[in-house]
Every structure is written in C-alpha cells, then in structure tokens.
Structure 1
Amino acid sequence: MSELDIERRGSTAVLTLNRPQAMNALSGSLMQAIARNVSALGRDDTVRAIIVTGAGERAFSAGLDLKELGTDASTLGAVDSASVEENPVRAIETCPKPVIAAINGVAITGGFELALACDVLIASTSARFADTHGRVGVIPGWGLSQKLPRLVGVYRAKEISFTGNFIDARTACDWGLVNRVVEPGDLMPAALKLAGEMAQVPAAFLSDYKRLIDDGFALPYGEAMALEQERSRHHNGAVSASELEARRANVQARGRSQ
C-alpha cells in the first residue's frame, strides 16, 4: 500500500496521506513522497491546483512519526533540509500552483505545520489542531513558531504552543487559522470547487500572484508595498489594451453567470 495516494480530478491533483492506521503520521518515506510529488506536480502544466488531505476520518496528520524517530532519528533530516525534493513543507511553500489543505481530522505539530504551508485551508467540523513541540521537546523546523503568532496573535500562539492543547475547527476559523469550516461530507467537494475556480485564472499569472503575496508577507510592510509597486510596474506595463478589454469582458460574463 502506497503511503501517498495521488488522484487526478481534471486539472486538480489530490494527494492523500495514506497511513490511517498511524493517523497519517509523517514517516521519512512519506515526507519525501510528498516533497517529490508536489515538486513534480508544480512542473506539470496539466495541473492547475493541488489538494492535500488525509486518509480516513480521524486525522489529517498526527505529525512526525515518533515511533520511527525513536529508532531512527535521521528522519529529522527531512525537516531541516532546504531541498524541495526532501522537505514537504518547503515543496508546498515554493510550489507555483495553489495548494489547498482539506483538513479532515486532527492536525498535530508537524501535521499542523504541513497544513499551514498550504495556500488555503478548509477544515471539516471534526478537525482539531495542536502544537505539541513543547511536550516532546523538539523545536519547530517548519515555521510554526513564526507563522502562528502572525496568524492568531502572539498571545494566542503562546497559549497553543505552551499548553499543547487542542483547538477545534470553529475556534481555528474564528482565530484566522482556516478559511472555512464545512461538514465532513462537504470537505472534498468544497476543496475541489475552490480548486476549479482557481484554475480559471491564467496559470502564469496565478503563480506570479502567489509569489508576490508570499514574498511580501515575509517583509516589513513598507518593503512589501515597494515590492508590489516594482512588480506591478513590470507586469502591468506589458499588458496591452486589447488583452485588458478581453479579460474585463470575461470577468463580466462570469459575474452574470453566478
């Protein structure tokens, strides 16, 4: 049985972490499989969006496979690797295609970080989130200590990380950790619908826009605004009036059909 199932739904690739008996814990081989396949899909022109989810109903991912780590600590190497062929979070963050997390159950520690690497997070009502780095004595290596305060505020982040307690899906949504919460049966349809809507935007433009948002988010506000101005001048200066008119007509047509 493959630890990572890959299914094509039109222009969308669905990656399913397939270790339900281990709550989809991230073994060394699974981490590398995610990294390699996300990198490959990012280069595949027939793929317009990627969805990452977990097999079964209990877990999106329970984080690093601590049982494996107990016998082979080299698994931590994939956490610290800068290579997009080894580090699943790095592969998702640098993927030129939008990556949607369909969070079907618990997302714990490394699983939490894997979800936060995605561009859009949709959670089922059974999803729960926890950071147990403190309880297992491992320092985050996939960005949780820096992303979480920026998303929910430093005080809430410290509460989550210092206690290791779970927060439920509704709280996660209220705190800005996920985009929306749906019933379990609606999770994949919602993710696929969103992926299809994203696929309507030209792929090259969507890639550039994703990079602009991510690059700007990593900068102080003033520098981020300057970055936007620089890229705006470069991109918009190459758009012809006829192209702009055709795109405007498409936007209007879409608006009338909704």
Structure 2
Amino acid sequence: MSVFEERFATYRQQHLGLIGKLIYREESEILDLFPDSESAAEVVKDLEELASSSGLQRKLTKIALNQLRIQPNDKVSAIEVCGGSCWLLRSLLLKAENTGLRINAIGSDISQRHIETNKEEFGNMNIKWAIADATDLPYPDVHFDLALNCQALHHFPVDMVIKLLTELKRVAKKVLIFDLRRTFYGPTFVRLLSPFYSKSFINDGIISHRRAYSIQEMRFIIELADLPYSVTPFTPVGMLVESI
C-alpha cells in the first residue's frame, strides 16, 4: 500500500460516520470485471440514455462548450478519456457545430470493444477514436484545450485517481470531470430505475453509488497530492472536478 493509499484509508476510516459505514461498499462492477462483454455494452448504452433523459448531458455539454469558447482560437481540441460511448464528446461536437466552433476531437477508452463499436456507430462524426490508458496518454504536454471524463473516478483506487488527474492536467489546458458522489439515497434512486433499464446497469449503478468518493474524500485526495483542482457538488448525486 502506498503512502497516499495509507493516508486516505486512515482519513476515510475517521470520517465515514455511521451512515457512511452503512452505505459504503468496495465491490467490482461489470465494467471492471468484464469490460468487453455484452453486459458491459448494456451498461454503457444505459449510462448514455440516463444522461440524456436526466438532463445531465445537456448541462455538462453547456459547461464544456463555455470552456472551449474562452480559448483564443476558432479551432480547438478536446479529448474524452474512459469514454465508453463518449456521449459527452459527441454531444459537445454537435452543439459546437451549431455555433460555428470547430473541434479536433479524440474519443478514447481502454476497451477495444467500445472503441470498435464507436467507429461503427459514429463513423460519420469528425472524431478520431483511440484505445488508450487514461493514466498514460500518448500525447505531448498541453496538447488539448479540454480533457473530459465522466463517471470513471469511482472505478479507481486513490493512487490511480491521482495518476489520472495528473495526466489529464498534463495533456490539457482545462480538465472537466463529472463523477458520482456517495450519498445515502443514491442506491435507492438506482433501484427505482429498475423498470426502465437493464439488470446489468442497475447492478453497476448500485455498486457505483456505494463505492463512490464523497465530496470531502475527493477534496482530501486533491489536497493530499497537491493537485490544481476544485471539487463542487453537481446534481443531487454527482460532483464536478475541474482544473484551476
């Protein structure tokens, strides 16, 4: 166990509280165990559907577009990592086209299946697809204007979270991350969605909400590693992690 992991484990133990101890579980999801399976594909599909129907996609797209608009050039670059179907990047490109903003876009994921599916389904979009490890990206420093990441931080232990945040800040001027935050009502919310989504998605969704970092924990991680990020609540069950 690294120094970061030891210090975080101590912090979590001291700050979980009674409700936190009842909610928190560290389990693996289908996306972790079988990333190239049919079940994982169901989870990715349902994640995008929920993001669209809940308004999350629209809200994040607006924030991302505003970040690109403040760049000095009329042609900017963006990458999404751990993207699955890269629904945020695709939404950003469609919205940008309507405003005349041109984006050089790369959609990436570590799963070959997800990337091959994206090539087939979204081959008409101006996106380069790449199989890539988000903690070790094959791009030079400050290569992108914006790096995006959605609902992935809770899949990683502390050391990997720090590596991912460090790597995204290295390759991009601005980093925008959305992830779940651990709440006592999150798992119940997912169970209520059971009639509308796949069993695979409900399984992973409940685990995600139980294992997610809290706002306080994520702030502690950033302070621990001395990273230039801010953390703010976003939606009833989420948080934004943004470079500063």
Fold-level match, TM-score > 0.5?
Answer: no
Question: What TM-score results when the alignment is normalised by the length of structure 2?
Answer: 0.26
Structure number with greater Rg is 1
